[in-house]
Amino acid sequence: MSYFSELEGKKILVVGGSKGIGKDIALAFAKLKADVIITGRNEADLNKANDELVEFNSNCSYLTADIQNVNQIYTMIDQAYERLDGIDVLINNAGVNIPKPALEVTEEDWDHVLDTNLKGTFFCSQRAGKYMIEQGRKGRIINIVSQMAFVGYIKRAPYCSSKGGAVQLTKALAIEWADKQIKVNAVAPTFIETDFTKKMFDNKDFYNDVLSRIPLGTLAKPNDVTGAVLFLASDMASFITGETIRVDGGWTAI
């Protein structure tokens, strides 16, 4: 029996799955023959990513939605539920950051980050959890948070706040839905090498500062996060809930 073979045929929804970590997660599930729906705001990016997914499983597809809008969240989850005939695993990966000194953060900045990273995560979980409970599925919800839920960093006051809140949300939902056998966990990566972060790391001072804080001495890659997600979605994690796995190379161990 190969690792994670029990995920074949599972119904997976990856919110924020068109690029970077989210796309890597979606591809891993598709390669295991799970039925995957990815979501995001940019239809062109979603269509491009889905072209890769269907090479492994023709049942994969995408939906467009802005998770800052609760009505769009409900519509997205409803459509995913109908299309997949259920949801076994929800991955809340969508996230944003507006790096600014705290004294320069506007109300609009704060709302944009918190509405996406925290409010969006809650209402996606709420709607998917409703369907899992109604169907009697022993579902999984996996929130992609950040090491910055546990440590502070400059120019990231709203981001750290949103991710810290998401860790506490993970615990609260895990406790509330434990009697329904819905496991709610999180994965907290450090900085990841993606096309999105490449511009940040072109700043050598920033790059060197980040590396100096990671005892393993290198940046993480998307598949480092994906491995933790597959574990939490699998039978190997059947007795784990309310936990956050830190994929940070030891940053928060110091």
Catalytic center residues: 159
DSSP secondary structure string, 128-168? HHHHHHHHT---EEEEE--GGGTS--TT-HHHHHHHHHHHH
Instruction: Look at the block and give the residue holding tokens 């073979």.
Output: 5
- Separation between Cα atoms, residue 232 and residue 185, nearest integer Å: 7
Give the single-character DSSP code of 180.
Answer: G
Residue 80's Cα: distance from chain center in Å? 17
As a whole number of angstroms, the distance between CA 254 and CA 250 comes to 7
> In 3-state terms, what secondary structure has residue 126?
helix
Among 120, 205, 129, which residue's Cα sits nearest to residue 174? 129
